[in-house]
């Protein structure tokens, strides 16, 4: 039959030998959400910062480090989803500087208004979930119990500073 004469035609039959593609396997463990070369998970069980870091390490990761604004937007929007303030992997050192729990240098911060305050020895950092300060960071006492965000690298180890002291790391980006 010719299709050029305006006739309608219904073809019935089976497509032999054509199979749908297999589902793609996530590079992340169950319960984690993939983003770029990393996997993130909001753990809603309450824990102190140290206990949360230990729990993330047992799963092969660390409390989440946030390297740039894209990661910040993803973690705040997709992972945290406004559920509850949650620990991230940033912590104040004795000298007053901040360091990520995975050793990655601090290139980016998203402090809330007036933060960090270090009020009453607030040395650990959480991400706000409230609609007014959503995604901004707050320094908090490390012994407070909060949900937490774990991060596992699904790619190669990215930290150039593991063998160096935290204060002598230089990152060279080749474009």
Q: What is the enclosing helix (H) or strand (E) of 69? A: helix 69-74
Q: 18-67: per-residue pLDDT in tens? A: 666 666 667 898 899 999 889 999 999 999 999 999 999 999 999 999 99
Mean model confidence pLDDT for the chain: 82
Query: What is the pLDDT, as a whole number, of residue 132?
Result: 84
The answer to whether residue 155 scores a pLDDT higher than 70 is no
Cβ partners under 8 Å of residue 156, min gap 6: 37
Distance of CA 90 to the CA centre of its chain: 12
Residue 84 contacts residue 149 (beta carbons within 8 Å): no
- Cα 144 to its chain centre, rounded Å, is 21
Superfamily of 27-153 according to CATH: Mannose-Binding Protein A, subunit A (3.10.100.10)
pTM of model > 0.85: no
Q: What is the pLDDT of residue 58?
A: 98
């Amino acid at each position: 039959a010719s299709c050029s004469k305006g006739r309608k035609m219904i073809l019935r039959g089976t497509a032999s030998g054509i199979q749908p593609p297999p589902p793609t396997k996530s590079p992340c463990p169950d319960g984690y959400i993939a983003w770029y070369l990393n996997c993130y998970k909001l753990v809603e069980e309450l824990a102190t910062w140290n206990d949360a870091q230990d729990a993330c390490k047992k799963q092969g990761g660390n409390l989440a480090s946030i390297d740039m604004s894209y990661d910040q937007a993803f973690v705040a929007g997709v992972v945290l989803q406004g559920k509850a303030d949650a620990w991230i992997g940033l912590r104040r050192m004795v000298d007053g500087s901040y360091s990520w729990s995975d050793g990655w240098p601090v290139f980016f911060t998203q402090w809330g208004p007036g933060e960090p305050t270090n009020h009453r020895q607030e040395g650990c950092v959480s991400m706000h979930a409230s609609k007014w300060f959503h995604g901004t960071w707050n320094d908090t006492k490390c012994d407070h119990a909060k949900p937490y965000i774990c991060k596992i690298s699904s790619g190669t180890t990215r930290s150039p500073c593991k063998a160096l002291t935290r204060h002598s790391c230089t990152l060279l980006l080749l474009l």
